[in-house]
Structure 1
Amino acid sequence: MPSPQAQEAVTVRVFTQRFSATRRGARLARRLATQQLDAWGIPYGSGPSDATALVVAELAANAVLHGRVPGRDFALRLAYNSAKDLVRVEVTDTHNALPARAPRDAAGDGETGRGLVLVDAIAVRWGVSGRSGPGKTVWAYVPASRERA
C-alpha cells in the first residue's frame, strides 16, 4: 500500500527547436508543433491541436515581427503534461521589448494587433518571463483535450 504522501508519476514530454527569425521559420515552427502533438497522441486537426498550432503561430509571428534581432534565431519549446492535460508553449527571442497586453476589443479594424488577443482567448493562462541573456520568453498553457478546450 503506498504511503499517504506518495504521488503518481507524471510524464512531461518536451520538444525544443530553434528557428530562423523569418516568416518561413514561424511557419515551420507551427508545422513541427502539430507533428509533435500528433506523435504525443493529440491528433492533427483536432481542436486541441488546432488551438495549440494557433498559439504557436501567433507567438512565433510576434517573435519574427517584433522580437527579431538580426542574426539571432527564436526558440520554440513545447511541454505536454498529460496529468494536467495541458501543453505549455514557449517562444523565446533575443529582443528585450515586452509584448503589450491589449484588451480583447482593442484590435478594431486594423490588420495587425490581434495575435495576443487570440492567445488570451485560447490559453488558460499566458505571460512573459525573463531569461538569462538578452530577450524574453512568452509562454501560454493550452488545454490538451476537447473537454478543457
Structure 2
Amino acid sequence: MKLADTALEPSASTEQFTIRLSSTRRSARLARRLTAERLAAWGIPYDSEPSHAAVAVTAEMAANAITHGRLPGRDFRLWLARLPGGVRIEVADTRPERLPKAAATSPTGPDALEAETGRGLLLVAAYADKWGCQTRDAHTKTVWAEIMHPS
C-alpha cells in the first residue's frame, strides 16, 4: 500500500508473461482479461480477492499508459510475474518524463466525488502491497505493483 523504491525481483525460474499491446482502449481491456486468465493458469482463481485486485491494478495502469503515456504509433507493454506468495504487474509506456505522483491522499474539493479522473493511483495504492515507477532508459517508464496473497 505504499510507493516503494525497491521491490522483489523475480528470479530466472519465475513464471512470467509479457505482451506488447497497442495504446488503445481495446488493448487496455485486453490487458485486464489477459491478467485474469494468466493468474487463473497460475492457480489464482478468477473469483479470488488477489485476482480481482490484480485485474483492477492492471486496468488502471494500462488506462494510464494509454491516456498519459502514449505517443502515436508506440505500444505499451504488460509484464506479469508469479512471485512466491504473490504476483508482480508491470506496465511500461513511452513517456518517461511523465512520472506518476504518489497517491498519498485522495482528491479534495467540492468536485472530487464527481471527478472522472485523478483517483487511479489511489486504487493502485489501495490494492497493491507495494508499487512504484522506474525509468530504465531514455524512452520508457515502467509502473509496477506487487500484490501478495496467502499461499
TM-score bin, normalised by smaller chain = 0.7 to 0.9
Structure 1 unaligned spans of 5+: 1-8
Change (3 A) 1:50 1:71: same
Identity percentage over the alignment? 51
TM-score by length of 2: 0.84
Question: In structure 1, the residue corresponding to 2:69 is in which secondary structure?
Answer: coil
Q: Is the 8 A contact 1:42 1:144 kept in 2?
A: no
Which residue is 1:61 aligned to? 63
The correspondence for 2:75, drawn from 73, 76, 98, is 73
User: Per-residue displacement from partner, 1:14-53 (whole Å, max 9, x unpaired)?
Assistant: 0000111000010000001100000000011211111000
How far the C-alpha of 1:11 sits from its partner, in A, is 4.8
Which residue is 1:17 aligned to? 19
Q: Is the 8 A contact 1:21 1:73 kept in 2?
A: yes
Which residue is 1:30 aligned to? 32
Q: Give the total of aligned pairs.
A: 136
Whole-Å separation in 2 of the counterparts to 1:49 and 1:32: 11
Whole-Å separation in 2 of the counterparts to 1:23 and 1:47: 25
Question: In structure 2, the residue corresponding to 1:12 is in which secondary structure?
Answer: coil
Question: In structure 1, the residue corresponding to 2:15 is in which secondary structure?
Answer: strand
Which residue is 1:5 aligned to? none
How far the C-alpha of 1:102 sits from its partner, in A, is 3.1
Which residue is 1:102 aligned to? 103
Structure 2 unaligned spans of 5+: 1-10
Of the two structures, which has the highest relative contact order with CA contacts closer than 8 Å and spacing of 6 or more? Answer: 2
What is the CA RMSD across the aligned residues, in angstroms? Answer: 1.8
Q: Is the 8 A contact 2:103 2:125 kept in 1?
A: no
TM-score by length of 1: 0.85
Amino acid at match of 1:23: R
After TM superposition, where is structure 1 displaced by more than 3 Å over at least 4 residues in a row?
Answer: none
Which residue is 1:117 aligned to? 122
How far the C-alpha of 1:60 sits from its partner, in A, is 0.3
How far the C-alpha of 1:10 sits from its partner, in A, is 9.2
Amino acid at match of 2:49: G
How far the C-alpha of 1:103 sits from its partner, in A, is 2.8
Where do residues 126-141 of structure 1 align in structure 2 (5 Å cutoff)?
126-141=131-146
Amino acid at match of 1:12: T
